[in-house]
Each structure stands twice: as C-alpha cells, then as structure tokens.
Amino acid sequence: MSESAVFKTHQKLSQVLKHAVKADIIPSNPCDKIDGMKRPEPQEERRSLSEKQAVKLAQDLKSADRTGCIVAVWIALATGMRRGEILGLLWDDIDLANGRINIKKQLDSKKNRRKTKSKTSKRNLAIDAGTVEFLTEWRELQSGLFYEGGEVPANSYVCTNSTGKEIEPNFFGKWRRNWFADHGLGHFETIETYIDRKGVKRQRRSGYQGYNLHELRHTQATLLIGKGADVKTVQNRLGHSSAQLTMDIYAHAIEQNDRKAADAIGAIMS
C-alpha cells in the first residue's frame, strides 16, 4: 500500500474504534498507540500531455479503425472521465442532440455496473461537437456490426468489445498500454518474440513505461486551466469533492495562469 493509503486506512480505523470506546465496547483506542502516523507529503506533480501531444493523440484516434477501445480513449481525452465511468456508460447516458454525458455509474474490475466513486462523481458534462460526431459515427457502426442496421438499444454499452458486450477493464488496460506504446506515448522495457502452438509469430511485452489513461484526466484539467477555465468548472468536470482539492492537485497549472494574469496587468499598466 502507498503511504497515502496507509494513512487513510489508519484514519478510518481510528474513527471506528473511537466510536467503539464511546459505546463502551472497548476500553481504549489501539490506534492512539501508533506513533509516527503523519499525513504524507503531497505527491509529485501529475503528468499530463502537452497540447501538441493531445492534438496528435486525437488525430491518431480519429484515423484509427473505430473500436470500443478507441472510443474509450477518445472519451477520456475529451472529458477527463475515469476508466470505470467510461466503460460503464450506456447510450441512455448520452444525449447526442444536446451534446451532454450524464455520469451515473461505473464498471468495476469484475464487470459490475455500480455507483460512482462518490456523490460528486455523479455529474452531467457538456461534450464538444467533434465528440458528438465521433460518437454518432460509432453508434451507426455498432448498428451495422451488432444489430443488422437496426437501432442500437438505449440500455446497451457505449464502449463494446468485438461481440457487442461490455469491455472487461483489465483487457482494456492491456490493450491501452500496447496502443499507447505503438503511438509514441510509452514503451515496453522487454519485448520477446515467440511462436505459439499454431505456428503464429507473436510478441510478449512487459515492463510498460509511459502515460496511462488517468493522465488523460490530468491533461483535461491542465489544458482547461491553461485556456482560462475557472477552477469551479474544472472541479465539476472532473467530479472532485471540492474546488480546494482541484486547486491542490493542479496548483502548478494555476500558478502558470497567475503569471499570465500578472503579465497581462503589467502590459496594461505600462
């Protein structure tokens, strides 16, 4: 477990046992006897794609053969949504006519569609015209692939596998690492070539180093802040519990905007 996870676990356990002491279930709180349990230092600055890298990724996604995995990465880049939120989307959650996505559920690692991470994770996001077009084209493709040209049901998944079912999250993670490596956003430390039982030449890759899907979430935030979006808007789009949390995580991007603001005032005054 990370230092942060250990601290949060200790904090929650201490709350439970404190309640037990008040209820005279136990005489004292064992957590009080643990020394050195301090809130960990803030994590290193989050990585995010540059604007140039984001544009290149969007171009690569648009030119690729359309699949549910490609659509999932596009949504991540366009909205900053979490992996489970993206894979848990149903067409009923997307209003293409008005360009909005209603995030109500997420898909967990066992393919269960359950509640979002928190109450603030439930949100209604605007999507741009390009994303509306991208998703419209994908739904039309799904119609031909899985429904013989008929209407795609509202209760079907947006991001689907080759059989029209939901995408297993771990499969998506493996696919995404390979795709990112093939498109300049990462690499594998070890690549082994082997012949399978059918005599087909294959590759076994391990030791992935590079960007992950969550860093597209950070990309959304830093690009928005860099373009002048207010912190409250960024908080709502990412589903953070408070604007303060957003400010703490993206302080570096806010500081850059503060410098631009100071320079703008300086230009007026001079």
For 194, what's the count of Cα atoms within 13 Å in the CB-facing half-sphere?
7
In this predicted structure, the answer to whether residue 251 has a pLDDT above a threshold of 80 is no
Give the range with max mean pLDDT: 5-9, 98-102, 264-268.
98-102
- pLDDT in the model for residue 43: 57
Rounded to whole angstroms, how far apart are CA atoms 196 and 23?
Answer: 63
Find where tokens 């990112």 sit. Answer: 180
Q: Could you count the other beta carbons within 10 Å of the beta carbon of residue 65?
A: 6
How many residues comprise the chain? 270
- What single-letter amino acid sits at 121? S
The confidence band for 3, taking pLDDT boundaries of 50, 70 and 90, is confident
% of the chain beyond a pLDDT of 70: 93
> Mean pLDDT, to the nearest integer, of 195-206?
89
H or E element: which one contains 209? strand 201-210
> Of 10-14, 70-74, 115-119, 207-211, which range is least confident?
115-119
CA nearest neighbour of 251 among 231, 228, 227, 229: 231
**Dihedral over Cα of 8, 9, 14, 19: its sign:** positive
The chain-wide mean pLDDT, for the chain, equals 89
- pLDDT in the model for residue 44: 55
- pLDDT in the model for residue 189: 92
Strands 100-103 and 105-107: unpaired
Secondary structure (3-state) at 41: coil
pLDDT per position as a tens digit, 73-82: 999 999 999 9
pLDDT per position as a tens digit, 16-44: 999 999 999 999 999 999 888 887 775 55
- pLDDT in the model for residue 250: 75
Judge whether 37 and 10 are in contact, CB under 8 Å: yes
Judge whether 240 and 246 are in contact, CB under 8 Å: yes
Secondary structure (3-state) at 207: strand
**Torsion, Cα of 129, 131, 135, 138 (10° steps):** 110
pLDDT per position as a tens digit, 213-244: 999 998 888 888 888 888 888 888 888 877 78
- pLDDT in the model for residue 36: 81
CA nearest neighbour of 107 among 188, 32, 170, 41: 170
The confidence band for 210, taking pLDDT boundaries of 50, 70 and 90, is very high
Residue 107 in tokens: 């898909």
In this predicted structure, the answer to whether residue 51 has a pLDDT above a threshold of 80 is yes
Strands 123-126 and 94-95: unpaired
- What single-letter amino acid sits at 255? E
pTM of the model: 0.78
